Amino acid sequence: MGSAEICKILEVSRTNLGVMLHGVRNRLRECLAAKGFKGAN
């Protein structure tokens, strides 16, 4: 899916989608690091 379609489904702006994805990526990185995944920077 493209970002425009995702924004429409979630009813958010592209800016808000970017903020949401940034937070999710950070939490995923922290989770992977806690589990010992070496590539989590």
Q: What is the pLDDT of residues 1-41, one digit of tens each?
A: 999 999 999 999 999 999 999 999 999 999 999 998 877 55
Two tokens at 11? Answer: 């009813």
Please give the Cα distance from 21 to 32 (Å, whole number). 16
pLDDT the model gives residue 41: 56
Write the Ramachandran bin of 37: left for phi over 0, alpha for psi from -120 to 50, otherwise beta.
beta
- Residue identified by tokens 């995923």 is 28
Contact status, residue 19 vs residue 9, Cβ threshold 8 Å: no
Q: How far is CA 20 from CA 4, 5, 12, 27, in A?
A: 14, 15, 10, 11
